[in-house]
Amino acid sequence: MREPNWIAITQVENIPPHEGRPVQVGGMELAVFNLGDRFAAVENECPHKGGPLCDGIVSGNVVVCPLHGWRFDLASGMAVRAPEPACVATFPARVVDGIVHVDLSGAGFSLQRRLEPPLRHGC
Amino acid sequence: MKKLVVVGNGMAGVACVEQILKQGHEFEITIFGDETHVNYNRILLSTVLAGEKSADDIVLNGIDWYRDNGIRARLGVRVEHIDRARRLAIGNDGAAAPFDKLILATGSSAFIPPIQGVEKKNVHVFRTLDDTRDLIAKANKGIKAVVIGGGLLGLEAARGLQLRGCEVTVVHLMETLMERQLDATGGEYLRRKIESFGIRVLMPKRTQALVGNGRVDGLRFDSGEEIEADLVVVAAGIKPNIELAQKSGIEVRRGIVVNDHMQTSDPDIFAVGECTEHRGQTFGLVAPLMEQGKVLAGAIAGNRSLAFTGAQPAAKLKIMGVEIFSAGSIDESEPGIETVRYEDPALGIYKKLIVKENRLLGVILVGDASDERRYTQWLRDETDLAPHRRHLLFPPPEKDAGLEVAQMSDSKVICGCGGVTKGEIIHAIHEHGIQTLDDLKLKTRASASCGSCKGLCQQLLRAVAPEFQEETRTTLCSCVPFSYEQLRQIVRGQQLKSVQEVLNVYGNRKGCEVCKPALSYMLDMIWCGGHDEDRSARFINDRVHANIQKDGTFSVIPRMRGGVTSPDELRRIADVAEKYKVRMVKVTGSQRIDLLGVKKADLPRVWADLGMPSGQAYTKGVRMVKTCVGTEFCRFGVQDSTSAGIELERRLENLFTPHKVKMGVVGCPRNCAEATVKDIGMVGQDGSWQVVVGGAAGKSVRKADLLITVEKTEEALDACDLFFQYYRENANYLERTYDFVERLGIETIRKETVYAAEADKTKLRERLARSKATAKDAWLERDAPVHPTQFVLIEAIGAVRRQEVN
């Protein structure tokens, strides 16, 4: 088991409800979302054509990529009803003292892009 | 002439009279009804409560019908006694109506379980139009309403109250909602769906008492637990109204006992509908009642060739967006039963068929009731399922859209409620020249009750009526399952100002990329910019006022009215292109200049450096007016198209529309700026302007239709304004003008805009002016963004421990 690596990201008010923002952290870009009752973080790159997921419309727990409408569950990272199996890396997020924190201990590990069928549950 | 008295003015009684008239029997008819209303469709009361229909919408037979057919209607009079010896029906007004034959159609009333305190104020039942009106009067926003009973009627009442803004709780005695129609799994799907609307469901809970001092303020369960309630609706079932029959010495058990000819124990007295008991069965759905009516109409005139042999129970929940259908016997305890099931939890679909020896015994459909007819037919005909076994849960793929109805024989029943066959419908279409579904309903009664055969009726109309006019209502999306027209009414009626409010009350609370932008547009249009803007409901282009490109960068197109620019503007554009390393500078097809490859974070500074307003090239809104040089320079020009185009653009810019609106103004019929393939065009003639609308040169190519020809430029601009606002108010979201014009027809559009009454034109102009007054150049948000981090790439506060990330 990896040791968690919680990184302070930004004040909660910097990400309005039901929107996402791009966040630069440790040489990579995350899309961090305010889901109303909690926050979620995924890598900010759609596995389909690289669209900025932070700019997508949020539908419940799902973000819709602004380029071609691929949908990703923000909890699991799995594509929902996509033409082929795909996923984005997700990172645990929590709020401490009004600051959004993201656990980056899984970074550089599961940035698997479009998955071959045998790997579809791999992330 | 023989005298016929009908006791009861409800659906069953009146449908029966309709059958008697249709079969040509001559009676002098008197109908007694204890409600003061003309005959209405009781099944649709829940839609009145929900605000989807008005009381007038559900009237089945207006007062003219009684008059035209020579029927005496005694409304508001209750028959107190039937003097069988003297053949008299005695009303509570003292009047005695003599009869030769009498029909009891007394219906049913709400069953009130023995709960302490049900007599308190604000405790209601939901059975009649008056009940519905009482509920509507009390169902104010924020009221805590509790519905006792999680059956069909209870759930419909709950949703109706919730749509009116009440906080609603359903209290159900059993462990499963609609347990008489659904199994545990189906009930669970239904519970989830109901809860997703924000309705609380408590079960199993036995209500012991309604508490409160004179007026109800809560419920106490037998567990001792209490909940608050300002309003209580008791919907615990129905009981047949048998008192009159009983008092008059007619045989009753649970209902008024009838034989296969709908005759009671007195051979001159018949009964029909929910008050009857036939072979031990009572009824609560419209279809068997209609069938009973037909049999009764024959029997009462001495024709005993028809017989009613019973009916399969069937039920359908009428809550928009919740599809529940159940029919036949769902009991699985019988030996030899096979169940065939399908479940998709993500879609909320559950289907179960109960089959025995290749015959369908029962069916449960949750979440997708589109196959309801097929199963009803199988149940009614006891169809041998052997040849259908591979397609039990889903119909075989269609080879031809019209196949289903084309293959039916003329004697096949299309409308199960009214018992209308395919042959009758085709005959009526030809005989009356029917062109619309509404007409068909009026003339044949097909699709007039539950409406589930609507699709088939439309198919028939399409195939048979030469000028069939399609119904054009479409549902916005499954998150908010209402048509655009309904949603516009809802938003206006309920004064909803934000997307989230609409989703919370009328939708699934979540919304998606389809409905959120559509609702955003609708609210902006209806409240003329005075809505609560929610950027999270907007597509990214409308959050950052630029058009997202395939690499995540943006394109920037400043407004260049009429396609006219200046050396100074061009210099600034050139400077911006260099300063921000714009990847491409492109002249667009709309006589403007596009700067491609701008980073989101640079957008506010790019706009500031340009010093030009937004060209709205990223949104569903007013794009541009393309012009030619007109009389200013052109040898052939006959109108000043450049000035007129710039003025048109100024008048409409910064406004939002259902889809993009591109315009063109040309100074002569040579049409150099292609005005006749624009959404709105002005074509200069010598001494006049032609205003044309609905043109297209995109995915489809369409020559615009002539709206009007006028002399003065100001008149032409006014015609553009009128069409523009009418399109804004009546088109579906993402419907281009060329589809809109084709859907409504240019004649209708003319009548509603340039040829409308002056008062209506003034209203259109006023609403346009109000919207225009609140519309702003979006690029001014460079100084005051709606959210401080709108254009920012956030840098994380904390540093990353280097060893963790490679």
State how far residue B509 is from chain A, nearest Cα, in angstroms.
8
Contacts of A57 in chain B (CB under 8 A): 512-513, 516-517, 536-540
In the predicted model, what is the mean pLDDT of residues B675-692? Answer: 96
Around B631, how many Cα atoms within 13 Å sit in the side-chain half-sphere? 11
Q: Which of B111-125, B493-507, B651-665 has the lowest mean pLDDT?
A: B493-507
pLDDT at B399 over 60: no
State how far residue B779 is from chain A, nearest Cα, in angstroms.
18
Three-state SS annotation for B742-784: HHHCHHHHHHHCCCCCHHHHHHHHHHHHHHHHHCCCHHHHHCC
Q: Which residue has the higher pLDDT, B436 or B375?
A: B375
pLDDT score for B471: 58
A vs B, Cβ pairs < 8 A, gives 109
Q: Is the peptide bond before B204 cis (omega within 30 degrees of 0)?
A: yes
Q: In what order do the strands lie in the sheet with A93-96?
A: A6-11, A99-103, A93-96
pTM of the predicted protein model: 0.60
Tell whether A79 lies on the interface with B, counting CB pairs under 8 A: no
Query: Cβ–Cβ of A69/B513 closer than 8 Å?
Result: yes
Q: What is the mean pLDDT of chain B?
A: 90
Report the C-alpha gap between B349 and B185 in whole angstroms.
11
CB < 8 Å from B in window 13-32 of A: 14-19, 21-29, 32
What are the tokens at B352? Answer: 């179960």
Burial class (CB in 10 A: 0-12, 13-18, 19+), B227: middle
In the predicted model, what is the mean pLDDT of residues B442-455? Answer: 76
Contacts of B801 in chain A (CB under 8 A): 5
pLDDT tens profile A43-62 = 999 999 999 999 999 999 99
Contacts of B789 in chain A (CB under 8 A): 14-15, 21
pLDDT at B401 over 50: no
Q: Cβ distance B435 to B468 under 8 Å?
A: yes
Contacts of A26 in chain B (CB under 8 A): 796, 800, 804-805
Q: Which residues contact B653 (CB under 8 A, 6 or more apart)?
A: B559, B561, B613, B616, B622, B775
Q: Which residue has the higher pLDDT, B646 or B392?
A: B646
Task: Read off the amino acid at residue B82.
Answer: I
Query: Cβ–Cβ of B788/A59 closer than 8 Å?
Result: no
Which of B599, B805, B806 is best to mutate for the A interface (most A CBs within 10 A)?
A: B805
Query: Cβ–Cβ of A57/B804 closer than 8 Å?
Result: no
Contacts of B553 in chain A (CB under 8 A): none
In the predicted model, what is the mean pLDDT of residues B209-214? Answer: 93
State how far residue A118 is from chain B, nearest Cα, in angstroms.
23
pLDDT score for A108: 56
Interface of B with A (CB under 8 A): 479, 509-513, 516-517, 534-540, 543, 548, 550-552, 600, 787-789, 792-801, 804-806
DSSP output for B587-653: E-TTS-EEEEEE-GGGHHHHHHHHT--B--TTSSBEEEEEE--HHHH-SS--S-HHHHHHHHHHHHT
pLDDT at B335 over 60: yes
pLDDT tens profile B723-748 = 999 999 999 999 999 999 999 999 99
State how far residue A41 is from chain B, nearest Cα, in angstroms.
13
pLDDT tens profile B573-597 = 999 999 999 999 999 999 999 999 9
Query: Cβ–Cβ of A9/B797 closer than 8 Å?
Result: yes
Tell whether A36 lies on the interface with B, counting CB pairs under 8 A: no
Tell whether A108 lies on the interface with B, counting CB pairs under 8 A: yes
Q: Cβ distance B87 to B93 under 8 Å?
A: no
Helix (H, G, I), strand (E, B) or coil at B182: coil
Report the C-alpha gap between B460 and B415 in whole angstroms.
12
Q: Which residue has the higher pLDDT, B210 or B459?
A: B210
Report the C-alpha gap between B565 and B615 in whole angstroms.
13
Report the C-alpha gap between B716 and B696 in whole angstroms.
20
pLDDT score for B202: 96
Q: How confident is the prediction along chain A (123 residues), in pLDDT tens digits per residue?
A: 678 889 999 999 999 999 999 999 978 899 999 999 999 999 999 999 999 999 999 999 999 999 988 999 999 999 987 777 899 999 999 999 999 999 988 765 444 443 444 343 334
**In angstroms, what is the C-alpha Rg of chain B?**
32
Burial class (CB in 10 A: 0-12, 13-18, 19+), A118: exposed
Tell whether A51 lies on the interface with B, counting CB pairs under 8 A: yes
Nearest CB neighbour to B550, from listed A27, A55, A67 = A67
Query: Cβ–Cβ of B550/A21 closer than 8 Å?
Result: no
Q: What ipTM, to 2 d.p.?
A: 0.90
Among B401, B438, B445, B403, which Cα is nearest to B421's? Answer: B445
Q: Which of B18-32, B705-719, B788-802 has the lowest mean pLDDT?
A: B788-802
What are the tokens at B553? Answer: 């960068």
Predicted confidence band of residue B806 (pLDDT cuts 50, 70, 90): very low
State how far residue A4 is from chain B, nearest Cα, in angstroms.
10
Query: Cβ–Cβ of B800/A25 closer than 8 Å?
Result: yes
Q: Which of B237-251, B294-308, B397-411, B465-479 has the lowest mean pLDDT?
A: B397-411
Pick the residue from chain A with its C-alpha nearest to B787: A16
pLDDT score for A111: 44
Report the C-alpha gap between B402 and B407 in whole angstroms.
9
Q: Which of B183-187, B214-218, B473-477 has the lowest mean pLDDT?
A: B473-477
